[in-house]
Amino acid sequence: MTRITVTVNGAREETAVEAHESLLTTLRERLGLPGSKNACEQGECGSCSVLLDDVLVCACLVLAASVDGREVRTVESLADGSALDPVQRAFVETGAVQCGFCTPGLVVATHALLRENPEPSLAEIREALSGNLCRCTGYGQIVEAVQRAAKTMYLHGLDDE
């Protein structure tokens, strides 16, 4: 076991991890944050998307031991109690959520996109989210949610910073 110190959603966490353990396992099983989902464990589906030092990663592909001293943000950090952030609100309002298993990953990936590119084109949205698989929706409402979130965040400024 290796001891690591990592800032998760703004809080400093100290935990012991196995040498081969993924960040996803650490988040879900050691830190009580199961919002990031485990659906493929090989970086194909995007359901475990988190921000590592503000960079979008699949938590299943990151070794937990490698995040020592770094900062992780998960889907659990986005809402403030019952107040949803603009991306989450847009997903709810447009009906972009069906079973919801892919949704946390999509919400985090959308954040990463809009941070880099506040006014993405349709093609840019599709490119940015092509690593997040959804098996229930037709993706159309997801794209609509991203466009709606972009508009809201552009008008009000990035309120999560």
Partner 1 sequence: MTRILKSIEEFEGEVSESLVIVDGHDLPPARHDGGSPEIGRSRRRIDATQRVTGRARYTQDLYLAGMLHARILRSPHARARVRRIDTKRAEALPGVRGVLHRFNTPKTPFRGDDVIFREEVRFVGEEVCAVAADDEDTAREALALIEVDYERLPHVVDLEEALGDVAPQLESDGNVSESGSHKRGDTKRALKEADVAVDVTYRTSTQLHNALETHGAVALYDGEMLTVWESTQHVFGVRTGLKNALKLPYSRIRVICDYMGGGFGAKNGVGKYTIVASLFAMRFGKAVRCVLTRDEENLAAGNRSATLQQLRLGAKGGRITAIEHTSWSNSGQGKWIANPTGPTNTLYEVANVNTRSYKVVTNAGSLSAFRAPGYVEGAFALESAIDELAEAAGVDPLTLRRRHAGAGKDPITGNRYSDKHLLECYRIGAKEIGWDRRRAGGTRGSAPHRRRGIGMASQIWGGGGGPPAYATVHVDPDGSVVLTAGTQDIGTGTRTVLAQICADELGVELDDVRVQIGDSAGPFGPMSAGSMTLASVGPAVRLAAHDAREQLLGAAAGVLETPKAELRLEAGAIVSKGARTPLGEVLGKVDNNTVIGKGIRFPNADDLAQKTFSAQFAEVEVDVRTGEIFVERIVAALDVGRIVNPLTAASQVEGGVIQGIGFALSEERIVDRALGRVMSGNLEGYKVPTVKDVPTIVVKFVDRPDRRANNLGAKGLGEPPIIPTAAAIANAVANATGARVRHSPLTRARVLEALALAGIRD
The contact set with partner 1 (CB under 8 A) reads 18, 20, 28-29, 32-42, 44-45, 47, 74-76, 78-79, 82, 84, 88, 91-93, 95, 97-104, 107, 125-127, 129-143
Number of H helices, E strands in the chain: 5, 5
Taking the least distance from each CB to partner 1, the nearer of 84 and 151 is: 84
Amino acid at 12: R
Q: Under a CB-based contact definition with an 8 Å cutoff, are residues 44 and 107 in contact?
A: no
Q: What is the largest CA-CA distance in the chain?
A: 47
Q: Under a CB-based contact definition with an 8 Å cutoff, are residues 37 and 104 in contact?
A: yes
Taking the least distance from each CB to partner 1, the nearer of 56 and 142 is: 142
Nearest approach, Cβ of 26 to partner 1 (angstroms)?
A: 13
Nearest approach, Cβ of 29 to partner 1 (angstroms)?
A: 6
Nearest approach, Cβ of 69 to partner 1 (angstroms)?
A: 25
* Half-sphere exposure for 44 (CA within 13 Å, toward CB): 4
Tell me the backbone φ, ψ of residue 153, rounded to 5 degrees: -70, -35
Distance separating alpha carbons of residues 89 and 79, to the nearest angstrom: 10
Nearest approach, Cβ of 52 to partner 1 (angstroms)?
A: 17
Taking the least distance from each CB to partner 1, the nearer of 43 and 71 is: 43
Nearest approach, Cβ of 65 to partner 1 (angstroms)?
A: 15
Q: Under a CB-based contact definition with an 8 Å cutoff, are residues 12 and 24 in contact?
A: no
Taking the least distance from each CB to partner 1, the nearer of 67 and 102 is: 102
Taking the least distance from each CB to partner 1, the nearer of 69 and 80 is: 80
